[in-house]
Amino acid sequence: MKKYLSLLLVAGVAFSCETKDQEIDYTQLSDSERLEVATEIAQSTIMVDGHVDLPYRMKVGGFTLQREILDVSVRTPDGNFDFPRSREGGLDAPFMSIYIPAGNQAIPGASKALADSLILMTERLATTFPDKFAMAYSPADVEVNFQKGVISLPMGMENGAGIEDDLANVEYFHGRGIRYITLTHGKDNLIGDASYDTTGTHGGLSEFGEKVVSEMNRVGIMVDLSHVSDNTFRDALAITKVPVIASHSSVRKFTPGFERNMSDELIKAMADNGGVMMINFGGSFIDSAYAAGSAKVREHIVNWLAENNLSRRDSAAQAYISEYAAANNPFPTVQRVADHVDHVVNLVGIDYVGFGSDFDGVGDSLPTGLKDVSMFPNLIAELLKRGYSREDIEKICYKNIFRVWQAVEDYAASM
């Protein structure tokens, strides 16, 4: 079990991990003292991240069943996740995203085949490095792995296109270890309409999608409403018999017009359902000014590359792009992520929010102070500074998502 800091000295007073919140006011500590406390909390508390895109990063990086080209058991020079950094940040259970690009939907069988491949890659991590990683199919599994000191690898399938047109595949993927399914991704699919798509193919959930949601309830797979259109979101809430999640979404108040994020109406509806919204850390998700600046930067870079006859892979281009983007569109900070947490808590309460970083899925847009999994204590420290208690932090880190996950399991068992 990871308890690297079982005893801390803060403001000259020693206290143990079990010290009651009322005995110390975290808001009155210095930033360095607060970060020390936050690091202790991260190390001694189970931390779940609702969405990490490592499996697809492994695929792009050349991972095969014969050999690993991308070895995340050691520190990697790029990306946002690996074992050493996860240990440093206190992340214990990153949901591995089994990501199905919308382009696969046009090829019969391609989505399911890719999902199976990415599941195998994830399982291979656990079997190759059993002292570092282990599969997890329930909250109880995560707790056991935490006690052993290994990182759990629960799995969620991002894009229900993997189900293809066969309802039996819902139970099939439960058997393969999938514990949530994001109903759509970038385009409308057979299940329902997506937030990034303006087609409105079904006007929300399709008839098939209604059956999929009910079947997910029956077998014990959490319904994930990130990426869906508002109509699909409402339809799914009307169908489900158990709480739902948004595995990696942020607050639309800070990104007006961005349907991929959740409106106050939807946040309240999810809370009424008992669900959990897990905050995405991506710059375009947390700050509309950054999103607008990114569009301008991209336009400039495209023109600059053409004028200089360079590609993005050229070292000179990479240096210029990094420098130009930093100068012309500064990253949001960890404080902005905390603003999103604050908004959910102020709107519906502490029981309905979690972390869903989208690490390895949002490129280089991550905010200052949250560039990779090692930096979770920075966010916890910011929440402590804003008056959150240790119990609050525990709810955000794992208790809220465990409550939903367990409710879904219990309902399936009762069926």
pLDDT single digits (tens) 202-256 = 999 999 999 999 999 999 999 999 999 999 999 999 999 999 999 999 999 999 9
CA distances from residue 295 to 153, 301, 302, 318, 325 in whole angstroms, order as listed: 34, 10, 11, 17, 11
Q: Is the CB of residue 222 less than 8 Å from the CB of residue 192?
A: no
Check pLDDT > 60 for residue 8. Answer: no
Residues whose CB is less than 8 angstroms from the CB of residue 296 and which lie 6 or more positions away in sequence, other chains included = 328, 329
What residues contact residue 27 under an 8 Å CB cut-off, 6+ apart? 384, 385, 386, 387
Which range has the worst mean pLDDT, 41-55, 283-297, 333-347? 283-297
Token code pair at residue 27: 């808001």
Note the Cα 298 to chain centre separation in Å: 25
Retrieve residue 281's tokens: 């850390």
Tokens 């595949």, residue located: 169
Half-sphere exposure of residue 326: CA atoms within 13 angstroms, side-chain side: 7
Q: Is the pLDDT of residue 150 over 50?
A: yes
Quote the pLDDT of residue 210. 98
Which of the 8 DSSP states describes residue 399?
I
Write out the two tokens for 75: 């520190």
The predicted model scores a pTM of 0.90
H runs (alpha helix) in 93-203? 110-128, 139-148, 168-175
Query: What sign does the dihedral 267-412-137-391 (CA atoms) show?
Result: positive
For residue 331, the model assigns a pLDDT of: 85
* Other Cβ atoms within 10 Å of 155 Cβ, number: 23
pLDDT (tens digit, 9 = 90+) per residue, 346-381? 999 999 999 999 999 998 889 999 999 999 999 999
Q: Which CATH superfamily is domain 47-287+332-381+388-414 in?
A: Metal-dependent hydrolases (3.20.20.140)
d(CA 413, CA 380): 35
Query: Torsion-angle region of residue 164: left (phi > 0), alpha (psi -120 to 50) or beta?
Result: left
64: pLDDT strictly greater than 80? no
Contacts 24+ apart (CB under 8 A), 289-296: 290/329, 290/330, 290/331, 290/332, 290/365, 291/255, 291/258, 293/328, 293/329, 294/329, 294/365, 296/328, 296/329
Q: What is the pLDDT of residue 327?
A: 85
pLDDT band at 321 (very low <50, low <70, confident <90, very high): confident
The C-alpha atoms of residue 102 and residue 303 are separated, in whole angstroms, by 28
DSSP-derived 3-state class of residue 228: strand
Q: Which regions of 159-304 does DSSP assign to beta strands (E)?
A: 178-182, 222-224, 245-246, 276-279
Confidence of residue 79 (pLDDT cuts 50, 70, 90): very high
Q: Please provide the distance, in angstroms rounded to a whole number, between the alpha carbons at the two ends of the chain.
A: 35
Radius of gyration of the chain (CA): 21
Confidence at residue 61, expressed as pLDDT on a 0 to 100 scale: 73
- Determine the Cα–Cα distance for residues 404 and 352; give it in Å rounded to an integer: 10
